[in-house]
Amino acid sequence: MNEDELRSEAKMVDLLNQFEHILESDPRIDEVGFVHPSQFFKLNEEAGHSLPSSDSSADRNSVFWNKDHKLGISTQVLLPLYKASKDAFMTANRQFKELNSTSNVSGAENSLCTSLSLDDDIESAVMKHSRALLLLSCDFGTAWHSRKLVVLEKHKLSALLDELLLSALVLSYSPKSEYAWGHRKWVIKSISEKCSTLPEIATKESELVEKIAERSKMNYRAWNHRCWLVSYMTREQLLHELKRSRNWANLHVADHCCFHYRSLMLKILEDRCCEQEISSSGYSVEIYLLWKDELDWDEMLIKRYIGREALWLHRRFLSLFWIKHFLTDHTGLSSRGEQKTSMNDDFSVFMDNELHLLHSCSIIPDNSFDDYQAQAMHSATYMLWLIKQIPDSCRIELQEKLKTENLKALLNKACPERSSTWDCLTGYVEASDH
């Protein structure tokens, strides 16, 4: 290795030492980002930092920025910093594997104190270098796996909580990292086996997902993680989550992930209530009111935000449950807790409301925006779908109130380029009614 290569390698090691020193000196860093070199002068100026011309802090201030627990890294040093952290991690990881393999066959003559000290040093090196590496390359699976092995050997709750902090830091710059979300699931599962603080962690996890979803739209992995958390929540937490997520959904009506999350919570709440009332007939008033309130809220959003498909898909879920569990139950409870006298009475109220919604959403003003056409199409296809879901004994009444030809005309008006599709759908519905 020539002199230039030695100098370059020494510089990379120095960069890594600076980086790891910042991470250790500020353990509360909660966000990391990559900054173009041209922006560092402005950042340091706003932070009140001067850029010395001679001492070593000049280089540090020009490649790293750390203030208010936020860390910026110059894009100019990403490659050498990545190479140095990868080399350091691979060396420490190899030593860790060798140590574990030899410890299984070591003799009694080995000093226990020396062995423990060596274990701690190598494990610390693995954790330190893997942290630096993952903050530069979040999909380095070997680094995530090595951290799991070290944490498992420590048998400490604090080590697991540290992993939640690290993965949250990784998600601050890579919110869709599959490895980071998977690591969080592993940590939470491990915590559930050790302590009873899981409800509190589940609440914080839900808040983290909401924060990330605000910055990263349509983040399937984040919402999938939040859905997975539901099984760890108490009934009170589910009710609180249902209320809190409604506020978020009111501002993000095009994000279907949130409505899927609400559907899951509603289903689990219903299942738990059924388990508690397994000996009673029908469904509890609480569940009835919960679903009725969700239907009313969804209708309000549909009328306020024109043409949003996610709202109509959520309504299908709600209506299907309503039909299967309330309209088909002759001994079900009314909204006041009184027994219903007839299934058809409740069906008429439900269908009258859905037909009224159809008519209000099928108006396409002249020179209107495409949203009105989308609204009319969604409402008509929803009604075609609904016809297929209702009990056979109730279809005659619906046929008297709604003609399939009217839906077909509405669909052709809203989306004439798909007329062959509408012919097929309406024909299928008409054939099934005979």
What are the tens digits of pLDDT across the range 358-391? 888 888 776 666 888 889 889 888 988 888 888 7
Residues belonging to the chain: 434
The span from the CA of 307 to the CA of 61, in Å, is 51
In eight-state DSSP terms, residue 331 is T
Strand partners, 64: 73
The span from the CA of 174 to the CA of 185, in Å, is 17
Judged on CB neighbours under 10 Å (0-12, 13-18, 19+), 205 is buried
Q: Are 92 and 23 in contact (CB under 8 A)?
A: no
Nearest to 328 by CA among 389, 413, 242, 407: 389
Strand partners, 32: 71
Q: What is the pLDDT along the chain (434 residues), one digit of tens a residue?
A: 677 778 888 899 999 999 999 999 999 999 999 999 888 878 777 766 555 444 445 555 679 999 999 999 999 999 999 999 999 999 999 999 998 877 655 544 445 555 566 678 999 999 999 999 999 999 999 999 999 999 998 888 899 999 999 999 999 999 999 999 999 999 999 998 887 778 889 999 999 999 999 988 889 999 999 999 998 888 889 999 999 999 999 999 998 999 999 999 988 887 777 766 654 544 577 788 888 999 999 999 999 999 999 999 999 999 998 888 766 554 344 444 444 444 456 667 888 898 899 888 888 776 666 888 889 889 888 988 888 888 777 766 666 666 655 766 777 776 776 666 666 656 555 555 55
User: Tokens standing for 152?
Assistant: 């498992």
Q: Are 380 and 407 in contact (CB under 8 A)?
A: yes
Whole-structure pTM value: 0.82
The secondary structure of 286-306 as a DSSP string is HHHHHHHHHHHHHHHHHHHST
User: Tokens standing for 187?
Assistant: 């940590």
Q: Are 226 and 209 in contact (CB under 8 A)?
A: yes
Q: Are 93 and 48 in contact (CB under 8 A)?
A: no
List CB contacts of 201: < 8 A, sequence separation 6 or more.
164, 188, 191
Q: Are 282 and 329 in contact (CB under 8 A)?
A: yes
> What is the amino acid identity at position 54?
S
Count CA within 13 A, CB hemisphere, residue 131.
24
Helix (H) or strand (E) holding 87: helix 78-103
Helix (H) or strand (E) holding 74: strand 70-74
Nearest to 177 by CA among 205, 219, 229, 142: 219
The span from the CA of 186 to the CA of 365, in Å, is 53
3-state secondary structure of 33: strand
3-state secondary structure of 415: coil
Taking the CB of residue 64, how many other CB atoms lie within 10 A of it? 20
